[in-house]
Amino acid sequence: MSEQFTISSHKKLYGLDHLRAFAIIFVFLFHYFILSSGQPKWLPGLAKFGWTGVDLFFVLSGFLISSQLFEQIKKGQNLSFKVFFLKRFFRIIPTYWITVGLYYCFPVFREKEALPSIWKFLTFTQNLGLNLKNFGTFSHAWSLCVEEHFYLFLPIFLIFLQFSKLFNKSYWLIIVLFLFGFAIRIYSYNTFYLPKINNGDSWMYWYKYIYYPTYNRLDGLLVGVSIAGIYQFLPNIWFKISKYGNHFLILSLIILTGAYFLCEDSQSYWASIFGFPLIAIGYGFMIIGAICPTSFLYKWESKVTTYIATLSYAIYLTHKGIIHITHQLLQSFKIDSNLMLLISIVSCTIFAVLLNQLIEKPIMKLRNKIIN
Q: Quick one: pLDDT band at residue 39, thresholds 50, 70, 90?
A: confident
H or E element in which residue 197 lies: none
Output the pTM of the full model. Answer: 0.95
Calculate what percentage of the chain has a pLDDT beyond 90.
86
Is the confidence at residue 6, as pLDDT, over 80? Answer: no
Q: Quick one: pLDDT band at residue 357, thresholds 50, 70, 90?
A: very high
User: 10 Å Cβ neighbour count for 249?
Assistant: 20
Supply the pLDDT for residue 199. Answer: 82
User: 10 Å Cβ neighbour count for 172?
Assistant: 9
Taking the C-alpha atoms of residue 213 and residue 127, their distance in angstroms, rounded to an integer, is 6
Supply the pLDDT for residue 319. Answer: 98
Mean of the per-residue pLDDT values for the chain? 94
Taking the C-alpha atoms of residue 121 and residue 37, their distance in angstroms, rounded to an integer, is 28
Supply the pLDDT for residue 174. Answer: 94
Supply the pLDDT for residue 8. Answer: 46
Supply the pLDDT for residue 5. Answer: 52
Taking the C-alpha atoms of residue 3 and residue 361, their distance in angstroms, rounded to an integer, is 13
Q: Quick one: pLDDT band at residue 323, thresholds 50, 70, 90?
A: very high
Angle at 213 between CA 173 and CA 121, to 5 degrees: 115
- Report the pLDDT averaged over residues 185-202: 93
Is the confidence at residue 4, as pLDDT, over 60? Answer: no
Taking the C-alpha atoms of residue 94 and residue 360, their distance in angstroms, rounded to an integer, is 8
Calculate what percentage of the chain has a pLDDT beyond 70.
97
Supply the pLDDT for residue 10. Answer: 52
- Report the pLDDT averaged over residues 186-205: 93
- Report the pLDDT averaged over residues 252-256: 98
Supply the pLDDT for residue 18. Answer: 97
